[in-house]
Chains A and B, each alone.
Chain A
C-alpha cells in the first residue's frame, strides 16, 4: 500500500468515526435527561461534525477524484465506511452513551495530541484544532462516568453494565493493519499500539474513581476500520443519507 492510499484510508477512519459518533449522540437532541445535558450532547456532536468536515474534506483532496466531504458522507454505502464499531453501537441509556463517549475520548485525546506533530502538515493542523475540543469532551465524559459510577445503586449498576457491554468494542483501535504500518513508518500517525498505554492509564484512573470494575478480557471485535460493520450502521446511514439519495444534489 502506498503512502497516499494509506493516508486516504486513515482520513476515512478518522472522519467516519467522528461522523457516525456525532450522528449517534445527535439522536439525543430533544431527548436527554436534563436540558443542560441535551445542549452538551448536541454541542459535542457539533464539534465532531466540524472535525468530520476537516478529515473528510482532506480525504477527498488526497483521493483526487473531486469528491467533497459531503459526497463522502452521503453517497457511500456501509461497506465503504471505516468508522470504529464502537461509534455505531446503539445509544441505549444516557449512561451507556456517556460511557462510550468516555472510552472514545480517552483514546482520541492522546491520538490527536500525537497527530498534531504529524509529518503531514495538513493532518497536523486539523489535529491541533480538534485536540482542544476533545480535551473538553474528555473532561466532561470522565466527570459524568465518575458521577454516575460512584452514584446511586441504580446508576452504578447501569454504568457497570455499559462498561461490560462496550468493553469488547474498545480494543479495536489498537489492532494495526498494513495501512497503520505505512502511516507509522512515514511519521504521519502513531502506531496504534503506542496509544494503548496512555489510554489504559486514563481508563484505570477514572474507573477506580467511578468504583467500576474493568472486565478481565482483552477480546476486541474488529472490522469497522476495514468496512465490515454491524447491522446498526446501515440503519444510521438510511436516516442520515435518505435525502441526498432521494433528491441527489439537493441543497438549501
Chain B
C-alpha cells in the first residue's frame, strides 16, 4: 500500500486505495482521549472520497469545544501519510451534528470492556460496566472529558464513566 520509491528518485503510488480501504486504516487509529475505540468507532469520519489526486476526509467534531479535535486531525493525517497518501484534504462538517447514535456496535462493546458505560437513549447507563449491576446512580453530569458523565455502582461501589447520550 505504501508508495514505492524507485531508484531514479520519483515516487510511484500503487493504485489509489479505495475509500473502504482508507476507512479500515482509520479504524486502527485510536481516539486520543478514549484509546479503547477508534476514530471510525466514534462515528466522526463522515466521508472519504478522492477528488482528483487528493484524498478528502470529512470529519465532524463531537463537542464543539472538544480539545481532542486538533489531535484527531493530526493523527488522521499521520496515518494517511504512513500509508503513502501524499495529497490530503481534511474537511470539517458541522451538519448534521454528531450524535452518539453513530458509535459503532464494536465501539460500544469496547467502551464497556474498557470500563466506560456506553450511551443509552434513556439518558443513563443501564448497568455497571464492572459488575453488571443495574443499581447505579449519577454522581455528576460532567466527567473527565466533555463526552462523559460520572456515575457510581451502589452494589460494587465503584465509580465509573458514562458516555453521555447526545
Contacts and interface: CB of A to CB of B under 8 A. Distances in A.
A49 B65 contact: yes
Interface of B: 61, 63-67, 94-98, 139-144, 146, 150, 164, 166
B94 A125 contact: yes
Nearest to B97: A129
A140 B98 CA distance: 21
Contacts of B144: 39
17 contacts: A36-B139, A36-B140, A36-B142, A39-B142, A39-B144, A46-B65, A46-B67, A46-B146, A50-B64, A53-B65, A54-B94, A124-B95, A125-B94, A128-B94, A129-B94, A133-B64, A136-B141
A39 B143 contact: yes
B65 A36 contact: no
A208 to B, nearest CB: 23
Q: How large, as a class, is the contact surface on chain A?
A: 20 to 34
Given A36-B139, A47-B146, A129-B98, 4 more contacts: A37-B140, A132-B97, A136-B164, A136-B166
Given A40-B142, A47-B65, A133-B64, A128 B150 contact: no
B23 to A, nearest CB: 24
A51 interface: yes
Contacts of A48: 65
Contact of A139 (B64, B66, B98, B141): B141
A44 interface: yes
Contacts of B150: 36
A24 to B, nearest CB: 16
Interface in A122-174: 124-126, 128-130, 132-133, 136, 139-140
A43 B98 CA distance: 18
> What 4 A-B pairs have minimum CB-CB distances, sorted nearest first?
A50-B65, A50-B64, A36-B140, A125-B95
Nearest to B141: A140
Interface in A43-88: 43-44, 46-51, 53-54
Nearest to A143: B141
A128 B64 contact: no
A43 B95 contact: no
Nearest to B93: A125
A50 B141 contact: no
Nearest to B95: A125
Given A36-B150, A128-B96, A128-B97, A44 B64 contact: no
A25 to B, nearest CB: 12
